Amino acid sequence: MLNKKILLATSLSVLTLAYAQASYAQDQGQASEDEQQGGGISEIIVTAQKRAENVQDVPIAMTAITGETLKDSGIESADDMTLAVPSLTWQQTHNSSPYIRGVGKPIVTAGNESSVGIFVDGVLQISPLQANFAMDNVERIEVLKGPQGTLFGRNSNGGVISITTRAPSFDTQAEASIGYANYDTVEGKFYASGALGDELAANFSGSFYNQDKGWGKNIYNGDDAYWSKDWHARGKLLWEPDDDTSITLTGEYHYTKTQGNAYAAIAGTLAQDGTGSPGFYNLNSDFETYLRTRVAGANLRARHDMGWAELVSITAYTRVRTYWPYDSDGAPGFILQGPIYESVDGFTQEVQLVSPGTGNFRWVVGLYYMYMDAAFDPIELYGANVGGAKVEVFGATKANSFAGFGQATWEFVPDTNLTVGARMTFDKRSVSGHVDVNDAPGTVAKHSKNFSEPTYKVTLDHKFGRDFMVYATHSTGYNSGQFNTGNANAPAVNPEKIKAYEIGFKSQFLDNKFQLNGAAYHYDYRDLQVTVIENAVTVQTNAAKAKIDGFELEANVAPVRGLLISAAVAYSDARYSDYNNAQYYRPVMGGGYETYSDDATGNRLRLSNKWAFSASARYDIETEAGVFTPSVAYSHRGPFFWNDENTVKEPAHDVLNASLTFTTADDRFWLRIWGKNLFDEKIRASTTLRREVFGEVPAAPLTYGATLGWKM
């Protein structure tokens, strides 16, 4: 606690010094008259409604994060976004799962889809295996809260995370960086863009990350535990034959190898073989566990302005292959383990017609198609819990989805808008699979089922002048029914549905030096898709009903040029209102657990903390040699539970990141010294609750390093 207070006091001192120096500079007349009156929050343009708009003009509760803010806050991966968005929680497993305002699910099965849609450059990330992405070449991130079932293509009843990467430029650009951090970590990034002719431009971004030393040890064999390495590449080719037409072809490849799926017994519990916790950052496993994922994708985005409307087409293909040797018992006993081979192939096609952004009637209409083929090929299981046999679980899930959508905004009186949107979705799902024992083929099971659901949205907003807007929204969300790829004999899981009611405001004052946005909401949430363990395999089933109530406030202050302070608070009360057959666990003498059903009505939803708070600040201190930029980002999260039984609790924790960046006067070179999780909090990235073990995966401990960069 003393170290926390020292670090927090130091951070506050940096902010105080920054503000005092800014005030002194103004008092001494070191800047021009415009600069003395400077400050103001930069406008952020977003595309949450399929057209470019100022974030403050969009009647949606959302957080927009610029690429510069990502760097300053130490946000380098998807799960790091929780540092800037208090209402966002992230379960970081082999296939990560985001939760927004308590809506989400712990996806662990091929073919299942998140309750929060993730889009990169307008393309759905079709598999949760793609969620462990690095924040390379990012222009901005938009976190849209609440159901977004009208304009976004899939299963966005919890919200949407929309990521926009940099477009090719006809001006020559290049930048690179190399960094070193503790745990023998080396990281490098490169970006280049430029013209290939009068009508062609291209860019390329690449990065690598190698954490060679683990956070702990596997005490069974002495190997390092929790190491990671990955590399990413993305290239874009832009063709602009005229002012009204642009076509962008994107290709990308991502490779990740990490121990993010390895776990050991939670302190105070016993695995099935009777062993306990080896230490928070340690493993105790006789079976090498890691995750290797390869993602390849390509997409083609075409835009043509016809004057009366803009025609947009987005075509995308994705191929994901994952191999993860898995020690299910997380202990040295030969209880349950084996490799898992997982694959996903997906294709999406979206066509939009978007009206001009002027006038008192604006609209968007479109069609959407998705095909997905996901498989376990196979899950191999060995150990005492399968009687010493070799068990292979084969399963394949296919999905075809068609949707038509539209949304219109009508300014029926000055400064008052009515927005109405709707989407009709048709899903066809099928599953086939079999279980082989000691190479003897099992009986093949096949099932298929159709699902369809309309979703809609109605929003009324009014502007009191140009600086204050209020809005009220009623919307619905839908997550398609799904089969369990790992158990083809199980019936389909019902669709989960949500009805949301929200009121909010967006405001800016003092010549846009101060922004304050807020929202309050109520959700009726039913047929929640939750996970249980059946016959050693994780499958999905439905809970009955839940209710979620909460509010959020976000503030940004830029009192003087170069200084930006942000803060946000989120409150959420998310509870099951009807769930009388939840899967509960009780310990067995000697280690391990047995399951039984009980009533979870009144319990809190998984990964839903009541209170969360974040704050950040950065200040540019200009000197003759260059610009010094101190930056801090702080996050507090209240306690939450990892299970429906509400017995595995994540304690409240505080995270502080800080950096100091020096940029030369010619803006060509920069050096950043940084630290993350400076309180060295022991935080779980995820948990696994099984009969064999209650296991935990740690998030990163305190890390620190330096990065040197260059740009043209």
Taking every pair of C-alpha atoms in the chain, what is the biggest distance, in angstroms?
85
Note the pTM of the prediction, 2 decimals: 0.91
Name the percent of the chain lying above pLDDT 90: 77
Determine whether 444 is exposed, middle or buried from the number of CB atoms within 10 Å of its CB (0-12, 13-18, 19+): exposed
Q: Residues 654-685: pLDDT tens digits?
A: 999 999 999 999 999 999 999 999 999 999 99
Q: Residues 501-548: pLDDT tens digits?
A: 999 999 999 998 999 999 999 999 999 988 887 766 777 888 889 999
pLDDT of residue 70: 85
Model confidence at 71, pLDDT cuts 50, 70, 90, reads confident
- Tell me the backbone φ, ψ of residue 280, rounded to 5 degrees: -60, -40
Model confidence at 27, pLDDT cuts 50, 70, 90, reads very low
Please check the confidence at residue 103 and state whether its pLDDT lies above 70.
Answer: yes
Are 393 and 433 spatial neighbours (Cβ–Cβ below 8 Å)? yes
Q: Average of pLDDT values for 588-596?
A: 93
d(CA 455, CA 149): 6
Please check the confidence at residue 562 and state whether its pLDDT lies above 50.
Answer: yes
Model confidence at 25, pLDDT cuts 50, 70, 90, reads very low
Give the DSSP per-residue string, 493-529: BPPEEEEEEEEEEEEEETTTTEEEEEEEEEEEEES-E
Model confidence at 21, pLDDT cuts 50, 70, 90, reads very low
Please check the confidence at residue 76 and state whether its pLDDT lies above 60.
Answer: yes
Model confidence at 95, pLDDT cuts 50, 70, 90, reads low
What's CA 312's distance to the chain center, in Å? 26
Q: How many CA atoms lie within 13 A of 605 on its CB side?
A: 31
Q: Mapping DSSP to helix (H, G, I), strand (E, B) and coil, where does residue 384 land?
A: helix
Please check the confidence at residue 7 and state whether its pLDDT lies above 70.
Answer: no
Question: What is the number of other CB atoms lying within 10 angstroms of the CB of residue 241?
Answer: 12
Q: Average of pLDDT values for 204-225?
A: 96
Report the amino acid identity of residue 237.
L
Please check the confidence at residue 422 and state whether its pLDDT lies above 90.
Answer: yes
Q: Residues 320-375: pLDDT tens digits?
A: 999 999 899 999 999 999 999 999 999 999 999 999 988 899 999 999 999 999 99
pLDDT of residue 39: 67
Share the mean pLDDT of the chain.
90
pLDDT of residue 495: 92
Q: Residues 599-642: pLDDT tens digits?
A: 999 999 999 999 999 999 999 999 999 999 999 999 999 999 99
d(CA 13, CA 677): 18
Question: What is the number of other CB atoms lying within 10 angstroms of the CB of residue 1?
Answer: 6
pLDDT of residue 486: 87
pLDDT of residue 97: 82
pLDDT of residue 16: 38
Per-residue tokens: 27: 């008092």
Model confidence at 134, pLDDT cuts 50, 70, 90, reads low
pLDDT of residue 132: 63
The CA-based angle 361-365-367, given to 5 degrees, is 180
